[in-house]
Amino acid sequence: MKIVLATRNMGKVKEIKEILRGLDLDMLSLNDFTEVPSISEDGKTFKENALKKARFVSRYLNIPALADDSGIEVDVLDKRPGILSARYAGGNATDEENNKKLLLELKDIPLKKRCAHYKCVIAIVFPLGEEETVDGSCNGFISLEPKGLGGFGYDPLFYVPEYGKTMAELPPDIKNRISHRGKALAKLKEKLTAILLSFTPSSQHLKKRYPSGNRGI
């Protein structure tokens, strides 16, 4: 089954492909479809944004689309950056700029009070309107300084106490197992396994599997 990952973030594309490896999927990304316009992520929750992106891309390209919306919530900052995580330092901010802003806001706050939560919601939408959503989370702390060269986003700052390392310091196999996105994708992989068993190119089996009014959202 062909499916498009509704992102141009190659870090996300790499993680998603690795975790969903083994499924009978031909996974493309928006980098393969330059004609798809940008999508405004103006939802109030991760779920709203994930569904909006997946719905738009699926309808635009007429193929199944998978989208995630994720971010980091810091307790002492009233759950900021939250849904603004990717653009915390501005609309075109880099990961480094977002990390610097977060560290500045947490200046002089000790590590034990820097509790943070990585959150992720993933939506998959099919052209006939069938939808599924899954979520995942990971708890940790914001470190005093960035460490590690792996991952992307806030990974160099997200300290995982069970391992004594930031996400960016962890090997990919461990990160993909314990991360917010990894947990959400593990749930999605179970759903996709069942969906693929009933899949036909015409998608008629999917239509029967998800009758109107029961779309898994």
State how beta strands 65-74 and 26-29 pair. unpaired
Q: Assess contact for 5 and 30: CB atoms under 8 A.
A: yes
Beta strands in 10-130 (DSSP E): 26-29, 65-74, 115-125
Coil/strand/helix, residue 71: strand
Q: In 44-144, which ranges are continuous DSSP H helix?
A: 46-61, 95-105
Distance in angstroms between the alpha carbons of the first and the last residue of the chain: 22
Which residues are designated catalytic? 69
Rounded distance, CA 4 to CA 65, Å? 5
| Residue 158 β-bridge partners | 142
Q: Number of C-alpha atoms within 13 angstroms, CB side, residue 142?
A: 30
Q: Give the torsion sign (CA, 157, 164, 187, 63).
A: positive
- Dihedral of alpha carbons 97, 98, 103, 105, sign: positive
With tokens 């959400």, the residue in question is: 184
